[in-house]
């Protein structure tokens, strides 16, 4: 190659000499093209007459004639080579006509090789001279031959266009617009990369046009709006990817900002319905796309303000008005659920803009559908001054449009009351120096959020007295009109009615239907009037201010009879029965639908409570640091400890309180983690500040900041931040906070008083053993019993009574079956029901998701995006509500919270036998080494349970991720590991293990079946007197449950899926819930029904014995379905398990009416308690070796099944991706998707097992698979139709041959699914 470079000095003169013939020029170019890749810049610069490159090469590109041969191709190649070596020469080439020459040659398309070389040269020149290339029309030129070149060259062409239009000047926009038609066509490409690139180019063009109407109208005429909307319709916005979706929304936003024609087109295409679907979806999944959607709405509304013709066209069409109405509804929804005040502020501004261009008639209609007044009341309750100011402006605008109507509406919804309160508060601030200073503190300005041209130095629009003056103006307008004194929604009227209702309830509490039918009918009628008639029409303001929530909780808790001293155990038992009876009474009233309504009263009540709770927006502040927020997927695998624990710490100078005499001073500054609470710091401080003679006894300190005592339940970090930002609902911590040394004083807490709550809890725990029903032991009932929420909470906070009432109602709803059954049994006992078959539940609970607060969920989601969340930046309200009222948050939010906080519950360490032949440590390439190290273990498929026991003994408690490989099989990594968990969980269901109910029959020789139950698996009871049965050792059963505990815990920890159907009752045990007689029907309906009926007979017998009334035929009343109990020939053995004697000699002891109560008790005890106690203990202890089982209590039974066993109903094939030879329109892929859609349930399970290693999908279904399930073209050596599909389960790759027909593909796919199970030979 040195020889070639040696010729370089002679090549240049040959090119420079125009008189030499074409052959000489051609030879020189060939030598130059060979030499350039090996040359270096200094060598080129040193060549004599080097300037001829920039003058001669463009001319040779343009050379024509038959004798020129490949000269233009070689000249273009030479230009590319020179510019690649010397980018600074690109400008000289451009000045000497290279760009025009390359462009013209490319447009001629007379030689494909020449076109490709020109394209490459233009790409290199464009990188240095983008503006000049744009002016020469390169953007449009490179797209004209787009369909004639290979995919790689197509992508090069788009890169050229992107570079050219990225920062084009306003004057060059017309040239950029020349490329728009071709780019619009490319939006319909099936290649995702091409589609995204074309979209990106159009977005840049629209953005650079700076809102010029003529350019935006042109894009609209090119059908950009229509094409973009087609990409989004039919749920296309769910599948195109976040980047593409953001690009489309941004493009539509820019076009609609200046084009009235585009806005009209969007309305015609139903953009508002689409936005409604998207906002609803993203609000539930708590994505950040809400901001972009709101900005698009803003651009849609702007032309209405400036174009009278468009405004008139919109106003005159009802369909358009309906869409605008839906936009307002959407904005209200976003504002109410927005975790940040800035989002809320933006929504109010947009609604205000809509109000300004709306007619009074439209606004009246809008108030009836969207309830603007209630929305305004909710916002006026917030502390953010920008939100309050803009809300007052909106209120004033509405009054200006239709004064009388909105005055009455404001009066009803509490807006008038809120404005009075704001005016009084502002006057107090101005008269109080400290409050005035606090009022004048710099609040982060959001006035210019929607103004892209605003500067960060622009002055805030809200002056010191702006809110006071605006509130005063509105209040003056109130004097013009008076509301009716007889208005049905007056606060006093509703409050009186509510208090009267609960007085009647108290009076009727112990009334039974047989005692006073008229009084019971009166109660039902009053309840219907309140819950079904008055409550729906009552405003949130009136409901909240009336104290209805507290009245309800007081009634249900029987607060009037709550004694401060709970020493009397008999009193406690009687009180428990009284509270239970009140719950039963109210459950019947709240869950029964009236004939006139399809909505249950409890649904209305919960909605009112949640709306009232959202008025306490500022009680739940979001705290964000200066760190960049990170987006977290809602279905992520649990995180290990992130390793950023020391990224931030507080510097605290602890000083002794002024009047503290006993303690010593603490010298120096102490750095503390942000997760530290006062109790943790106390342990470090105590030895240093307490003299040796005073160190005995409990060390109790009180900490204060600027005279205010710090809460023990909150971290010191949170207490400081909230005290320093008092009154703010959105708190952002700047860098200076971490550098500052904070002073906290301490003194000795001499109070030795034990809280009455702790004492009450201790006594209540002692009574639990006397209570039979599980609901009486549930935390919600304990809270009711004590008349308050657990823990250190501020009862003066306006949210307290609402949270307490919601907790009670959620428990009532969850236990509605038990409450109703107990009530039916009582009615049977009292002969109100004659037949046992009448003991049926006639009410049903409302869906659990109706207790979810969208606002609190949004706030928690935003808080979890904080980078420091994992190491302790967690506001105490998050921790408290997740533990105490988890139902307030969506499942996805709780799952994410669990993932991010799980590392605090690890029980084990990483110690293991390093010399074990079956294990191998392997570190991941991921940057977070501590979080991604794995333990690898080999198992034997034929002896998998023993291998699993051995593996869990060694690594079960390890914080590392466990990966499994099968001996003698090729697969390794994610796929075999998922297969391992699925197989082990399957093997634990075999007959003959003695683990599950239904495994009582003797195992036939050679039988390999599995225990199956339609209602889920539940442990088989084992008598304490038996150590073996049917050749099964009880110790082996206990060991298997220990293995199950390990497997379940590791599956949750490592994000694996199990193939095991556990019963709802077993999940309740996992979640620490008590079981009772009413749980037996959930896993054994036949036994459960019989036992409940026996219990009803026991209750009737007791009632008759205690009643003064005598029955004409006692034996008939106490028979079991007209059969004497003794004639049933029951003995004291466990039904279905005759080897389990309930008492010694139980097989010889017959059940009589007198011993029926004992019989029922022993069946329940054996089935739910003593008979399964050791199995459950083994399961729980093994689970707790991995992480604390109690951390799962934020979930319910159905959610636990989703976590462990994946999604059963998330089969959506539109989440499958295609690559390496396939796209969505490839004929084999079309056939493949049709086959998948035709699969039945079992075929779906087999396909998922084949492609992922587990028979069910993880949380979120196909959409959440990581990596995504991808189908690629399989390279076949021989006959394609003879090949089988294969998989890479770790990467979720399906390698699919391009079969000649759909029938052959179906046959081969089904064969592969059958053969591929149980091994990795098709990997």
Enumerate the active-site residues.
1290
Query: Do 391 and 376 touch, CB atoms closer than 8 A?
Result: yes
In this structure, the dihedral spanned by the alpha carbons of residues 4, 6, 10 and 16, taken in order and rounded to 10 degrees, is 70
The helix or strand, by DSSP H or E, that contains position 151, with its residue range, turns out to be helix 151-165
What whole-number distance in Å separates Cα of residue 103 and Cα of residue 84? 18
Neighbouring CB atoms inside 10 A of 552's CB total: 23
Q: Which two tokens stand for residue 1171?
A: 């008979």
User: Which H helix or E strand runs over 25?
Assistant: helix 22-35
How long is the chain?
1323
Cross-strand partners of 743: 653
Please tell me what DSSP assigns to residue 596. Answer: T
SS3 662: coil
Q: What angle do CA 611, 616, 621 make, to 5 degrees?
A: 125
What is the H or E stretch that residue 41 is in?
A: helix 41-46
The CA distance from 312 to 22, in Å, is 70
| Cα dihedral 948→954→959→964 (10° resolution) | -40
Q: Are strands 1133-1134 and 1293-1296 parallel, antiparallel or unpaired?
A: unpaired
Q: Distances in Å between the alpha carbon of 923 and those of 110, 358, 531, 937, 961?
A: 56, 63, 61, 14, 10
Cα three-residue angle 741-742-747, rounded to 5 degrees: 135
Instruction: Name which of 902, 998, 941 is nearest 1191 in CA terms.
Output: 902
CA distance 823 to 552: 21
Residue 339 to residue 342: CA distance in whole angstroms:
9
Helix 891-901 crosses helix 876-884 at what angle (to 10 degrees)? 120
Helix (H, G, I), strand (E, B) or coil at 1000: coil
526 Cβ partners below 8 Å, 6+ apart? 501, 504
Three-class DSSP labels, 1150-1201: ECCCCCHHHHHHHHHHHHHCCCCHHHHHHHHHHHHHHECHHHHHHCCHHHHH
Cα–Cα nearest to 892, from 883, 880, 900, 904: 900
Contact 601, 590 (CB under 8 A): yes
49: nearest Cα among 85, 10, 80, 79: 10
SS3 1118: coil
Three-state SS at 673: strand
β-strand 649-656 against 741-748: which pairing, if any? parallel
- Answer whether 1251's CB lies under 8 Å from 1287's CB: yes
d(CA 30, CA 8): 11
Instruction: Give Rg (Cα) of the chain.
Output: 38
E strand or H helix that includes residue 963: strand 961-966
For β-strands 1217-1219 and 1137-1141, DSSP reports them as unpaired
β-partners of residue 655 are 745
Contact 918, 660 (CB under 8 A): no
List all residues 6 or more positions away from 237 whose beta carbon is below 8 Å from its beta carbon. 231, 245, 248, 274, 278
Burial tier of 179 (Cβ tally within 10 Å: 0-12, 13-18, 19+): buried
């Amino acid at each position: 190659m040195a020889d070639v470079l040696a010729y370089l000095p002679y090549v240049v003169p040959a090119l420079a000499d125009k008189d030499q013939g074409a052959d000489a020029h051609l030879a020189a170019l060939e030598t130059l093209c060979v030499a350039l890749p090996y040359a270096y810049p200094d060598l080129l610069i040193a060549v004599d007459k080097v300037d001829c490159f920039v003058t001669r090469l463009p001319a040779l590109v343009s050379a024509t004639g038959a004798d020129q041969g490949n000269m233009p191709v070689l000249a273009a190649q030479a230009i590319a080579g020179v510019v690649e070596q010397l980018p600074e020469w690109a400008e000289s080439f451009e000045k000497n006509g290279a760009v025009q020459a390359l462009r013209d040659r490319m447009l001629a398309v007379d030689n494909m090789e020449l076109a490709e070389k020109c394209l490459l040269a233009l790409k290199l020149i464009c990188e240095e001279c983008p503006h000049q290339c744009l002016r020469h029309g390169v953007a449009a030129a490179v797209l004209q031959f787009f369909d004639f070149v290979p995919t790689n060259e197509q992508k090069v062409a788009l890169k050229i266009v992107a570079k050219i239009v990225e920062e084009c000047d306003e004057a060059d926009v017309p040239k950029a617009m020349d490329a728009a038609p071709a780019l619009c066509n490319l939006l319909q490409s099936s290649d995702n990369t091409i589609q995204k690139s074309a979209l990106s180019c159009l977005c840049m063009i629209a953005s650079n046009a700076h809102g010029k109407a003529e350019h935006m109208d042109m894009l609209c005429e090119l059908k950009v709006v229509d094409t973009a909307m087609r990409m989004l319709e039919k749920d296309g916005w769910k599948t195109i990817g976040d980047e593409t979706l953001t690009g489309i929304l941004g493009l539509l936003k820019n076009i609609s900002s200046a084009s009235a024609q585009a806005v009209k087109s969007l309305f015609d295409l139903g953009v508002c319905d689409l936005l409604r679907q998207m906002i609803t979806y993203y609000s539930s999944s708590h994505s950040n796309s809400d901001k972009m959607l709101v900005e698009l709405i803003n651009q849609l509304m702007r032309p209405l303000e400036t174009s009278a013709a468009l405004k008139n066209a919109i106003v005159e069409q009802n369909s358009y008005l309906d869409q605008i109405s839906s936009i307002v509804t959407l904005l209200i929804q976003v504002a109410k659920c927005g975790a940040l005040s800035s989002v809320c502020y933006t929504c109010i501004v947009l609604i205000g803009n809509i109000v300004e261009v709306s007619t009074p008639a439209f606004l009246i209609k809008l108030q009836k559908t969207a309830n603007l007044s209630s929305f305004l009341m909710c916002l006026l309750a917030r502390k953010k001054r920008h939100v309050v100011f803009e809300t007052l402006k909106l209120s004033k605008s509405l009054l200006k449009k239709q004064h009388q109507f909105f005055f009455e509406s404001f009066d009803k919804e509490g807006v008038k009351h809120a404005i009075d309160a704001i005016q009084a508060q502002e006057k107090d601030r101005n008269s109080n120096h400290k409050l005035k200073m606090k009022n004048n503190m710099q609040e982060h300005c959001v006035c210019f959020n929607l103004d892209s041209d605003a500067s960060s130095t622009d002055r805030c629009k809200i002056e010191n007295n702006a809110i006071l003056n605006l509130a005063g103006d509105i209040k003056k307008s109130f004097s013009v009109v008076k509301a009716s004194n007889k208005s049905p929604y007056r606060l006093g009227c509703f409050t009186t009615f509510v208090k009267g209702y609960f007085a009647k309830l108290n009076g009727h509490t112990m009334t039974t239907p047989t005692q006073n039918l008229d009084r019971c009918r009166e109660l039902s009628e009053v309840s219907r009037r309140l819950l079904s008639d008055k409550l729906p029409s009552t405003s949130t303001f009136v409901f909240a201010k009336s104290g209805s929530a507290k009245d309800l909780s007081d009634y249900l808790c029987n607060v009037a009879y709550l004694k401060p001293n709970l020493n009397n155990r008999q009193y406690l038992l009687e009180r428990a029965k009284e509270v239970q009876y009140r719950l039963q009474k109210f459950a019947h009233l709240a869950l029964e639908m009236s004939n006139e309504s399809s909505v249950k009263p409890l649904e209305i009540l919960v909605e009112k409570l949640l709306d009232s709770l959202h008025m306490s927006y500022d009680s739940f502040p979001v705290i964000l640091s200066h760190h960049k927020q990170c987006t977290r997927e809602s279905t992520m695998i649990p995180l290990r400890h992130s390793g950023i624990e020391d990224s931030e710490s507080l510097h605290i100078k602890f000083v002794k309180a002024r009047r503290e005499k006993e303690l010593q001073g603490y010298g120096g500054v102490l750095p503390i983690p942000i997760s530290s609470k006062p109790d943790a710091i106390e342990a470090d401080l105590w030895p240093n500040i307490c003299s040796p003679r005073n160190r005995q006894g409990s060390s109790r300190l009180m900490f204060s900041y600027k005279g205010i005592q710090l809460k023990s339940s909150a971290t010191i970090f949170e207490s400081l931040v909230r005290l320093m930002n008092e009154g703010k609902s959105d708190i952002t911590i700047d860098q200076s906070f971490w550098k500052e040394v904070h002073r906290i004083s301490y003194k000795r807490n001499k109070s030795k008083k034990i809280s009455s709550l702790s004492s009450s809890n201790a006594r209540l725990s002692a009574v639990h053993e006397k209570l039979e029903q599980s609901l009486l032991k549930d935390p919600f009932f304990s809270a009711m019993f004590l008349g308050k929420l657990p823990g250190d909470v501020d009862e003066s906070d306006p949210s307290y009574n609402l949270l307490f009432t919601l907790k009670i109602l959620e428990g009532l709803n969850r236990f509605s079956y038990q409450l109703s059954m107990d009530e039916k049994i009582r009615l049977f006992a009292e002969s109100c029901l004659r037949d046992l078959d009448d003991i049926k539940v006639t009410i049903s609970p409302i869906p659990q998701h109706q207790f979810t607060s969208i606002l609190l969920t949004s706030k928690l989601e935003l808080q979890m995006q904080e980078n420091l969340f994992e190491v302790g930046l967690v506001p105490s309200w998050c921790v408290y509500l997740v533990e105490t009222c988890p139902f307030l948050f969506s499942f996805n939010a709780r799952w994410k919270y669990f993932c991010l906080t799980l590392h605090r519950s690890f029980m084990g360490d990483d110690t293991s036998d390093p010399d074990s032949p079956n294990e191998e440590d392997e570190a991941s390439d991921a940057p977070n080494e501590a979080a991604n190290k794995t333990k690898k273990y080999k198992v034997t498929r034929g002896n998998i349970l023993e291998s699993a026991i051995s593996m869990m003994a060694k690594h079960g408690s390890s914080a590392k991720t466990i990966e499994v490989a099968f001996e003698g099989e090729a697969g390794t990594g994610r796929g075999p590991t998922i297969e391992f968990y699925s197989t082990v969980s399957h093997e634990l269901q075999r007959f003959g293990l003695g683990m599950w109910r239904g495994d009582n029959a003797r195992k036939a020789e050679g039988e390999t079946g599995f225990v199956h139950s339609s209602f889920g698996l539940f442990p088989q009871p084992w008598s304490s007197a038996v150590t073996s049965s049917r050749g099964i050792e009880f110790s082996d059963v206990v060991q298997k449950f220990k293995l199950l505990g390990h497997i379940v815990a590791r599956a949750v920890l490592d994000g694996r899926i199990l193939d095991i159907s556990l019963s709802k009752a077993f999940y309740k045990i996992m979640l620490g819930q008590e079981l009772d007689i009413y749980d037996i029907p959930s896993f054994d309906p036949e036994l459960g029904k019989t036992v409940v009926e026996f219990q009803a007979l026991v209750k009737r017998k007791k009632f008759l014995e205690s009643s003064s009334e005598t029955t004409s035929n006692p034996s008939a009343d106490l028979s079991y379905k007209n059969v004497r109990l003794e004639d049933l020939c029951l003995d004291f053995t466990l039904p279905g398990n005759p080897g389990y004697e309930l008492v010694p000699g139980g097989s010889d002891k017959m059940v009589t009416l007198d011993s029926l109560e004992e019989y029922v008790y022993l069946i329940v005890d054996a089935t739910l308690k003593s008979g399964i106690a050791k199995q459950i203990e083994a399961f729980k202890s093994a689970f707790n070796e991995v992480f604390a089982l109690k951390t799962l209590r934020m979930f319910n039974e159905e959610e636990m099944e989703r976590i462990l066993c994946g999604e059963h109903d998330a089969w959506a094939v539109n989440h499958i991706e295609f690559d390496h030879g396939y796209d969505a329109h490839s004929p084999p892929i079309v056939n493949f998707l049709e086959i998948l859609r035709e699969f039945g349930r079992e075929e779906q399970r087999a396909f998922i097992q084949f492609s992922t290693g587990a028979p069910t999908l993880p949380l979120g279904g196909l959409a959440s698979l990581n990596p995504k399930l991808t189908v690629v073209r399989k390279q076949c050596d021989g006959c394609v139709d003879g090949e089988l599909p294969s998989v890479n389960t770790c990467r979720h790759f399906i390698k699919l041959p391009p079969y000649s027909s759909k029938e052959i593909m179906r046959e081969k796919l089904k064969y592969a699914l059958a053969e591929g199970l149980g091994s990795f030979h098709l990997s």
